Structures are given as structure tokens and as C-alpha cells.
Copies of this chain bind each other. A is one copy, B any other.
Amino acid sequence: MNTLLSSLSSISQLTDSEQLQKYTADSSGYPPALPSIVLRPANTEEVAACIKACAAAHKNYTIQGGLTGLAGGACPAEGDVVISLERMNKIEEVDTIGGTAIVQAGVVLEQLQQAVLEQGWYFPLDLGARGSCQIGGNVSTNAGGNKVFRYGTTRELVLGLEVVLPDGTVLNMLNRVIKNNTGMDLKHLFIGTEGIYGVVTRVCIRLFPKPEAVHNALVALASFEDVAQLLKEARGSLAELASFEVMWDNYLKAAAIATKRTVPFEGHYPIYVLMEVEGSAYGLQDKFVHFLERQIERGLLQDVIIPQNEEQAKNLWHIRDGVSEIFRTLQYFVAFDIGIPLKDMQTFIDEVNQAITDQYPHAVNLFFGHLGDGNLHILTGKLKQEELEAVDDLVYQLTAKYGGSITAEHGIGRIKKSFLHYSRSQEQIQLMRSIRQLINPDNLLNKGRVVD
């Protein structure tokens, strides 16, 4: 340990146990643990030096970004070295002609959004944690969010990466061009793999022109079948469709109560969709209203609320985003973040409801999600603490039955590692493990996450 410290004397270090408290856990609820030291490199060379020092000292090390992860990926084991990228917070370059930017991994998402907006461009990755999550973490977890439907996940927004490998090699893949078919696109080894193959240090991102106008509508439908039909119609008619957020009735009610808002509709309907279009102002509102009217005429929509101002629109989104307020009323609960093929969605939901009711009659399931992407969230509670793992297992088993993904957004991290087999075959897990052994053979980097 002393050797480690002295070889890195020029790099910012924290060892005071009070200062270390900040680095003991992420947002997942995974048990906190005290690292032995926090290294805070300010550039790629310093990251490589930290990694080489850990390798030489054979010390396990955990990489940390904004600590907003929900799968325990950034939680250290007791005594780990933590390498925090928080000082790597420079936006190095914004190409205002081509619409790309090169940024360090520790840049906070909201700062990035703001900085490019000031230069006339738009970075469409957006999620609740925007104020503290860092772009390196977004890349490592392939973050999704509210606008995936239009712009893709982080994977589609990343043109190139710089990564430091566990042997200290700096892999500069800061590709700036959209199309590059020169062999394997190696960035995919590091996007969504939660830091088990290397440490993302810099990112080249794609930018988009800033949308001039945004319009919302909350619509009520009679069935999930109608929702799927609406989605197809909307995809065909509204190239500007950016969000398609589905809420089942019980979620809408729970969220309205938890956020102290009135339920938006007077009538009762089984299912709702909050739609958002964003794009050029010219003709967009007219097109959106025309689309909604046509869907009313053909009977697909039972009722529609079009907010008349920004305040009203925010109110609708506040209900959609009311999850954290619901959390407080549901202790203990399990929050699922799964992907299910659309055609099986309602059957899956019915089976989950049945299975939970049979075994945990005191619990309810609240369903909502970014359904444009097949991404379903479920909140299941109240449960007893000792029931949580069995409920996880039950829902993941049903997810596997429909060929779904046990995590569409949050990742595997430490928390879902034992459930990975529900979404990935033994052959796939073996291949991921082989690549880990190839690139990260000592397994000092982010040990205990995803596969090892």
C-alpha cells in the first residue's frame, strides 16, 4: 500500500476516513464498504498510472463515476482502491460543424447538455440522474432514459472512446466518423460492460440540432393491444416522436397520489400513454393534433389531454416521474427494469400479477415504462425484506420465459449477477468470461461485477 501511494504521489489522493465516506456506495442500496484509498486522476496518463500501480501492488480497484448507478457496479469491496474520475471533467472539443464533441469521462451529463446547447447543439441523452451522473458511467452502463425511442441509447450516441486497459495500455479509439467499417468496432467491448474490460477515459459523442419545439399529450386507451397499435401508427406518422411512456392505471393513480396531483382524467381507463414529439416548429403542432384526432376518430384513443402550457406539460411528466415519491410509500419493494417483446407484454404482465397475488397477496405491482423500446418497469411492494430475493427470482423467471432482458437500462453490476443466466445462455456467459480473462486476467479491475 505504501509503495502504491509513493508511486502515485503526484496524483490527488484521499485517505482520511471521513473523506472516504462519499465513495462507499452508489444509489443501488448495495451495502456500503470503506475503500482504503481514493485516487482522483485528472487525465488519461494519470488513470494509466493508477491502474499500473494497482496491478504492480496486486490491489483490487473499483472505478467510480457519479455514483448514481442502480446495480451496485460502483460499490467498492472493503479495502479496495477506488479510482474516481470526478476530476476528469473537461469538455475538450466541440466540433460545431460536424456536430461531435470529445469529453473526459468525468463530465456530468447536465453540464455536457448545457455546454453543447450554448454552442447551438443538443445532446439528447437524458435521465433523472442528469445532475450527477457522468458520461463515463453513462457509457459503461449504456444508459437509456426518456428519449431512446428517437435517438437510441448511449451506445448509438457514442462515436468513439478512449479506454485504459487493465495492463495500462491506452486504447485510443476516438473515432469521429459515423461510418467506420475497418474491422471490429472495439468500442462495443466497453459500452454497457460496466468497466469489467477497461476504464473509459474519453468519449467522442454525436450531437444533434436543438429541437425548436416540444409537444406532449397524455392519451387514454382501452387495452395494451391498442397501445401497440398506437405505437405503430405513431412511428409511421410522427418522425419527431421522442417519448412513448406507458402507464397502467394503478401506476397513474399511485403516482398522482404520491406526487400530490389530481388524476388527470375524470374517466377510468386501463392504460395511458404520455407522448412527446420534438423537432422543427414548422407544422409540428398541427401534425401532432391531426394525428391524435385521427386516432380518436378510429376509436383507438378513449380520451386525450393536451397540455396548454409548459407548466401543465411538466405536471404530466411529474406524474410519469413520480417513481421516487412512490418508493417512499412502498418499503420494502422490488423495482424491475426489464425488456419484453411487445407482442408478449400484456400476457407477461398478467402472469406477473397472477404469480405475485398467489404468493404475496399483500403486494401490488405497478407497471409503467418506456414502451417504445419494449422497456417495462415494475414496482412490486410492500414486501417483507426477506421476500425480496424470491420476488426478483420469480419475475426474472417469467422474463426468461418470454426471451426478455432482466435489465433494459440499469445493468447487472453486483446486484443482478446471480440472475444473469435468465437472460444469457451459458455459452454467452462463457464468452463474456473468456474476454474478461483475455483483457483483465488478474481480475483486479471491478472484480465481482457482471461475470467473473
Contacts and interface: CB of A to CB of B under 8 A. Distances in A.
B407 A182 contact: yes
A328 interface: no
A174 B427 CA distance: 13
A178 B375 contact: yes
Contacts of A236: 209-212, 279-280
A166 interface: no
A178 B373 contact: yes
Given A180-B339, A280-B237, A405-B181, A428 B375 contact: no
A132 interface: no
Interface stretch (A9-17, A60-68, A97-105): A97-105
Contact of A434 (B155, B193, B438): B438
A173 B182 CA distance: 24
Contacts of A407: 180-182
A192 B181 contact: yes
Interface stretch (A83-91, A140-148, A259-267): A140-148
A279 B239 contact: yes
A237 B179 contact: no
A391 B177 CA distance: 23
Nearest to A421: B182
Contacts of A235: 99, 208-209
Contacts of A290: 282-283
Interface stretch (A247-255, A352-360, A408-416): A408-416
A422 B232 CA distance: 44
Contact of A177 (B156, B169, B404): B404
Copies of the chain in the assembly:
2
Given A182-B420, A451-B183, A408 B374 contact: no
Contacts of A192: 181, 183-185
Interface string A408-452: 111110001000100111011101101100110000000000110
B182 A185 contact: no
Which of A141, A185, A212 has the most chain B CB within a 10 Å cutoff?
A185
A431 B172 CA distance: 12
B97 A343 contact: yes
A287 B279 contact: no
Nearest to A197: B184
A92 to B, nearest CB: 14
Contacts of A233: 209
A75 to B, nearest CB: 18
Contact of A153 (B95, B179, B184): B179
Contact of A280 (B142, B239, B370, B406): B239
Interface of A: 95, 97-100, 141-142, 144, 148, 152-153, 155-156, 169-186, 188-189, 191-194, 197, 208-212, 228, 232-233, 235-240, 279-280, 282-283, 286-287, 290-291, 339-343, 370, 373-375, 403-412, 416, 420, 423-425, 427-429, 431-432, 434-435, 438-439, 450-451
Given A174-B403, A182-B423, A282-B290, 16 more contacts: A97-B343, A98-B343, A142-B185, A169-B427, A173-B428, A179-B408, A179-B409, A180-B423, A182-B406, A183-B412, A184-B193, A184-B435, A208-B235, A280-B287, A282-B291, A283-B283
